[in-house]
Structure 1
Amino acid sequence: MAGVCEPVVSAVTFCEGVGPADGPRPGPERRVRQHACRGRSSNTQAKAHVPRADATPPLGDARLRGVVERAPVAMAVLDRELRYLAVSRRFLIDHGLGAVALIGRLHDDVFPPVPERWSTLLERCVAGATERLEASPYPRPDGRPKAVRWDITPWYTDAHEIGGLILVSDVLTEREPVREQRGQGQKMQALGHLAGGVAHDFNNLLTIILGYSELLTRQIGPDKSIGRDLRQIMAAAQRAATLTRQLLAFSRKQVLKVAPVDLSAVVADVEPMFRRLIGEQITVETVLARDLPPVMADVAQLEHVLMNLVVNARDAMPRGGVVTMATGPAELDRDYAFTHPGAKAGSYAMVSVRDTGIGMSPEIRARVFEPLFTTKERGHGTGLGLAAVYGIVKQLGGYIGVDSAPGRGTTFEIYLPTTTEAVLAPQVPLPLVASPVGREAILLVEDDDNARAFVKTVLERYGYRVLDANSAEAAVTLLDSQHPSIQLLLTDVVLPGLDGRELAARVTRAQPHVPVLYMSGYMGRLRTAKGFHEPGVQLLEKPFTAHALLTRTRELLGQADDREPVGASPPRDSTGDLVPQ
């Protein structure tokens, strides 16, 4: 602690005076002396004014108490019973004690119950040990924990007996650790905004690439050479779509369809698949809790999270090993939340994935959730898998931690808040109708010209009548001027000016029977306050194929009329699907 002034020199001299009367000073005094003051030679005459301690601690001396009180460090002197003899003003301020009278009171009467390790540490110091705690969580009298660095050293009487303890503390709550945590959080937030914006733009492009490739493949035929080339284009676009979904997951902009979920049941369901995925040289073990409280989660996303963690575990064990998936209840207290930024105290269900692999260095562990950061060879990793895991867990209101060291493997622990809602029986999905035709009128609103052209082309080829607009305002003008009767509103969510939600509200006020199907690759405006899918909202996620577009459209409009559209009788392929002309 920088800053040299007379009271600190006096306090340092007091620390020397309460040591053994002869012989070399023990280490504790030197450490407190270094912690409290640098450059004491600037005022060596102060020693002459401070009396040495005798068998009775000299703290009844008002001058000596004044020296400790004016010290610019957080300092307290206690007797063997941990009763306060003198404290500095800085100690009172840092620990939120204000005008509390401490002299003569016991330490345990001032502070709330502290962890057992702290009581054990004080006992060691009273027995003669010197301790230094780096950024340890310690509760204030009001119960709020703070990160405090402590120097604790015994002081001695002239009889060489320990008279008590000297505490010097440095509160770090608003200093280095929090600055680092805040900086890391801001970095992750900025990356999330960037990732979400990139995913939105890419999803429009990928919709066009996937859609037209699909249409051309059906027209040319999948068995011809150019058809095989087109399938490669579609496969590459699907891989790119997977990357954009991971970017959205990291940026927490996915729409999650949550329901009460049993984590143990989820792990049990995916375990057989994981065994096949990671190979025979790796053993998969599970330790699953029974009667685990449910959590609100999206099962598909949970499975995606576990798969990413298991694949990373496999890659960390090239010579084989053991992957253990475990579940159990967990209570996170305020101490844990304080020392693990992003965690909150409360009741959780925990799922962990532990491997016996090569482990990670502290430098790698600190960056493990950053998007595009990977330690894998080029072509073997995107750096988005764990970033997506992080985003999904955070969007579910949970916390993910990692414990790892070189040579001792890695453990990821995920904590999700529990719910009192009961787990529902799984629903059997309805069979999908393949690329059905229709003749209804659809109002299409999409600001991207190329994406709008693709959607319009697909719908018109399969018999629908399409009115299109490039903005919500243009759609409203079209409805007001032509008064068309429409059977479906198909709109993007993010539009210039009025967005898709506002447009839908206007359309359904005028024509309440009209269903609404949203299209979006960036779904922030379709989420609830907790980031979950709004009940009743119908969504077609970009990028999508022609088949997906036609299927969802038909689902909302009901089954198609048995008759073909007027003036159209397109042939069908071997699967019974319509072949576009």
Structure 2
Amino acid sequence: MAGLSLYCEAAGTGSDHDMEQSKRQWLEPIGRLAGVIAHDFNNLLTVILADLELAAFRTRDEDARGLLRRASEAAEMGVSFNKRLLALAGGRRFAPAVIKVNQHITDTWQVVERILSEDTRLQFHPGADVWPVKADPSELDGALLNLVANARDAINGSGEVTIATKNVQLTTAEAAGIGGAMPGDFVRISVADTGSGMPSEVATQAMEPFFTTKPAGAGSGLGLTSVGMTVARAGGFLVLDSIPGEGTTVSLYLPRTLEVAQDPDDGKDADLPFGDGQLILVVENDPLVREAVLQRLEVLGYAVLEAADGETALAFLEQGEPVDLVFSDVVMPGRLSGHGLALLLRRRFPGVGVLLTSGYASRMLPRRRRLMVRAELIAKPYSLQVLARAVRRALLAAGKAER
């Protein structure tokens, strides 16, 4: 049987407008549920990553550091999964960056390799002088992990999974032969397996949300859907080629960018910016997350004060506590959200710095009010480096630290 090649859009493969509209309406409540799950999961990951970082910070035993590093890498895979959940929910901001494709794949190789069995060989065939692309690095990682996991599951016994990159220049005539494609310069990232392949009736449904051929509990059916969403957000398209009995190749076509990629190591090993005893009020209702944040800030050289909600935080300030910075979660119980607290602080305590964090950046807040808040927001979970730099910026903005 001839192989099937099809173009896949972010929401599915159908071209009928009413069908696509129905799918979007059906996905809305699922997306809201995914957002709630992602928020709670991000809180757990915040605690896990914080404790792993603090343990590594305090030990000089290299064997222990190695174990902690591997545990952190596993937790980071959970972070990547959660970002895909948030993308589905529409609650994660698309954060594109210029990516050197071959270098990026090489940097994430160990993580990708770990999801394969011992009987499956993973190969990388990098193209020569591959152009940079502009996409969300975390989403691209998630897409590759999804495709490699699908390839692994398609292989019965031993087999091979091959990741390849190549520059592709599509003429108008060539683009016309690929549904939804356009002429131009693209980088093609393909993931090919030597697995069972798919018959045409299965391949045509492969991009549909929640469609899966895996047994119950073994897959959500959202993998290829999220991959398609990633490619579409980057301005590209996806092509699936499958031959029953011979294997499947999924190719991501990402537009070439003329922007210059920054060195991904810039600032990575830079010294942490430590505090000078400034008082930071941490507002967080989850006691485990709150304790993890307090410990991190103390390690960074700050004095800390804690509150479980916005009302308690305001009471501390009204009592005259010399707070330099309020670091608050956005989603909290009570009448005050993090955004509401930030607005009140701007009006009543303009000399106090504000920094916000959230495991699910809701888009329900009106844009005008977001502009009024004027506070930086960092996404959970965050590294010690990200926290240290964000706190430093917020203190500088409030005039509470020297440059």
In the alignment, structure 1 residue 328 sits paired with structure 2 residue 176: no
Q: Which residue is 1:556 aligned to?
A: 391
CA distance in 2, matches of 1:281, 1:234: 25
| Deviations 1:48-76 (CA, angstroms, capped at 9, x unpaired) | xxxxxxxxxxxxxxxxxxxxxxxxxxxxx
CA distance in 2, matches of 1:213, 1:447: 22
User: Helix, strand or coil: the match of 2:262?
Assistant: coil
Question: What pairs with 1:393-542 in structure 2 (closer than 5 Å)?
Answer: 393-431=231-269, 439-448=277-286, 451-452=289-290, 455=293, 464-468=303-307, 470-471=309-310, 475=313, 479=317, 481-495=318-332, 499-501=337-339, 503-504=341-342, 507=345, 515-524=353-362, 537=376, 539-542=378-381
| Shift of residue 466, structure 1, vs aligned partner | 0.9
User: Helix, strand or coil: the match of 2:148?
Assistant: helix
User: Helix, strand or coil: the match of 2:146?
Assistant: helix
With normalisation by structure 2, the TM-score equals 0.64
User: Helix, strand or coil: the match of 1:325?
Assistant: strand
With normalisation by structure 1, the TM-score equals 0.48
CA distance in 2, matches of 1:418, 1:217: 39
Superposed CA RMSD in Å reads 5.2
Closer/same/farther in 2, CA of residues 372 and 483 from structure 1, 3 Å limit: farther
Closer/same/farther in 2, CA of residues 261 and 549 from structure 1, 3 Å limit: closer
Q: Which residue is 2:186 aligned to?
A: 349
CA contact (8 A) 2:94 2:136 kept: yes
| Shift of residue 491, structure 1, vs aligned partner | 1.4
CA distance in 1, matches of 2:122, 2:384: 42
| Shift of residue 281, structure 1, vs aligned partner | 5.8
1:183 aligned to 17, 22, 26, which one?
A: 22
Closer/same/farther in 2, CA of residues 379 and 425 from structure 1, 3 Å limit: same
Q: Which residue is 1:199 aligned to?
A: 38
Length, aligned pairs only? 360
CA contact (8 A) 1:448 1:470 kept: no
CA contact (8 A) 1:359 1:405 kept: yes
Identity across matched positions, percent: 32
CA contact (8 A) 1:328 1:350 kept: yes
CA contact (8 A) 1:493 1:525 kept: no
| Shift of residue 310, structure 1, vs aligned partner | 2.8
| Shift of residue 517, structure 1, vs aligned partner | 3.4
- The code of the aligned residue for 2:387 comes to R
User: Helix, strand or coil: the match of 2:168?
Assistant: strand
Gaps of 5+ in 2: 1-13, 62-70, 368-373, 394-403
Closer/same/farther in 2, CA of residues 443 and 556 from structure 1, 3 Å limit: same
Gaps of 5+ in 1: 1-174, 223-232, 530-534, 559-581
User: Helix, strand or coil: the match of 2:30?
Assistant: helix
In the alignment, structure 1 residue 247 sits paired with structure 2 residue 82: no
CA distance in 1, matches of 2:325, 2:125: 48
- The code of the aligned residue for 1:177 comes to D
* Structure with larger RCO (C-alpha < 8 A, sep 6+): 2
CA contact (8 A) 2:143 2:227 kept: yes
CA distance in 1, matches of 2:176, 2:338: 39
CA contact (8 A) 1:459 1:550 kept: no
CA contact (8 A) 1:246 1:384 kept: no
CA contact (8 A) 2:280 2:302 kept: no
CA distance in 1, matches of 2:385, 2:281: 15
CA contact (8 A) 2:192 2:248 kept: yes
User: Helix, strand or coil: the match of 1:523?
Assistant: coil
Structure number, greater radius of gyration: 1
User: Helix, strand or coil: the match of 1:250?
Assistant: helix
Q: Which residue is 2:146 aligned to?
A: 308
| Shift of residue 382, structure 1, vs aligned partner | 5.8
Closer/same/farther in 2, CA of residues 525 and 251 from structure 1, 3 Å limit: closer
CA distance in 1, matches of 2:262, 2:57: 40
User: Helix, strand or coil: the match of 1:309?
Assistant: helix
- The code of the aligned residue for 2:261 comes to V
| Shift of residue 541, structure 1, vs aligned partner | 1.2
CA contact (8 A) 2:198 2:242 kept: yes
| Shift of residue 522, structure 1, vs aligned partner | 0.8
- The code of the aligned residue for 1:184 comes to K
| Deviations 1:24-56 (CA, angstroms, capped at 9, x unpaired) | xxxxxxxxxxxxxxxxxxxxxxxxxxxxxxxxx
CA distance in 1, matches of 2:160, 2:204: 24
- The code of the aligned residue for 1:250 comes to L
- The code of the aligned residue for 1:251 comes to A
Closer/same/farther in 2, CA of residues 234 and 331 from structure 1, 3 Å limit: closer
CA distance in 2, matches of 1:244, 1:410: 26
CA distance in 1, matches of 2:75, 2:104: 30
User: Helix, strand or coil: the match of 2:140?
Assistant: helix
User: Helix, strand or coil: the match of 2:34?
Assistant: helix
- The code of the aligned residue for 1:465 comes to V
| Shift of residue 200, structure 1, vs aligned partner | 1.5
CA distance in 2, matches of 1:498, 1:347: 50
